Amino acid sequence: MRAHGMQCPTCDKYGDLVHATVRKTGQQVIVCTECDFVWPHPQQDIHPAHATDVASLLAQSGLDDDWDELELGARVPPSSTA
């Protein structure tokens, strides 16, 4: 079995979470590659209550609802709570 990144808690772990940067503002976020939820404060717990959607996040910065506004980075590593 291949190692994956941390899986999204909002879409029943169907999508992987990746680090991303909003190109025009430099804001660091974490985004699900499947359900379009985004965590605008990566230092917080990855919990559904802290998520918003990509369109809302971009609109708050006056940007178009377009994934091209995001520069995707590395996958978020699985949490190591032991």
Q: Which amino acid is located at 39 in the chain?
A: W
Per-domain residue ranges of the chain: 17-35+47-75
Res 81 pLDDT > 90: no
Closest CA to 20 of 78, 77, 69: 69
Helix (H, G, I), strand (E, B) or coil at 24: coil
What per-residue confidence (pLDDT) applies to 9? Answer: 87
The CA distance from 19 to 62, in Å, is 21
Once rounded to an integer, what is the mean pLDDT over residues 60-82? 84
Digit-coded pLDDT (tens) for 3-53: 567 888 888 767 889 999 999 999 999 999 899 899 998 888 888 899 999
